[in-house]
Amino acid sequence: MWEMAVGNTFGATSLSSYGGFWISYAIILTPGGFHIQEILSTDSDSAQLYNSLDLYLMSTVAFFLLFFFLLFFFLDIAFLLLAIGNLVRPRGTPDTRIKKAGGLFALLAAFTAWYNALAGIADTSNSFFIIPVVHFPWSATGREKRLKTERETA
């Protein structure tokens, strides 16, 4: 929520949404808490649970596609693979190979998030090295760099 305090509406919206997703996903998967898993699955058939999780994860993919940065791209691929892993049930259980691939993309998303955080924190006042960052041409920094001559940017 400190992103909102510093005026970064995108950061506040995306990070709050992402945090809200993980809280709600944990509520769904916590045994004994809200009994969601027990209600949606029976001993003989778990298809309703997997189909509900698929719908939930696919809606998350659609929501985060709106943000479409590298971090959220990796998150989208991770959620998409997790949903597909639940859809593909060769022996009645979700395909663990596809879900492991989703976990790999989640790790890539985590690495990208840490890189973005370090790039946002490290500047000339507090670090000996500056993390390279690519700015969109329509952003304020991108417009400023376009207006500078080649000699000024060297």
What's the pLDDT tens digit per position in 73-104? Answer: 898 899 999 999 999 988 888 889 999 999 99
The pTM assigned to this predicted structure is 0.57
pLDDT of residue 23 exceeding 80, the answer is yes
Radius of gyration from C-alpha coordinates of the chain: 20
Residue type present at position 9: T
pLDDT reported for residue 108:
93
76: nearest Cα among 9, 137, 12, 14 = 14
**CB-CB contact of 90 with 48 (8 Å):** no
Tell me what the mean pLDDT of segment 12-19 comes to: 83
In this structure, which long-range contacts are made by residues 57-66, counting pairs with CB atoms below 8 Å and at least 24 apart in sequence?
A: 57/82, 57/83, 57/86, 58/83, 60/21, 63/17, 64/17, 64/18
Report the pLDDT averaged over residues 113-142. Answer: 77
Q: How confident is the model at residue 150 (pLDDT cuts 50, 70, 90)?
A: low
| Residue bearing the bigger pLDDT, 15 or 152 | 15
From 88, 36, 141, select the one nearest 153 (Cα to Cα): 141
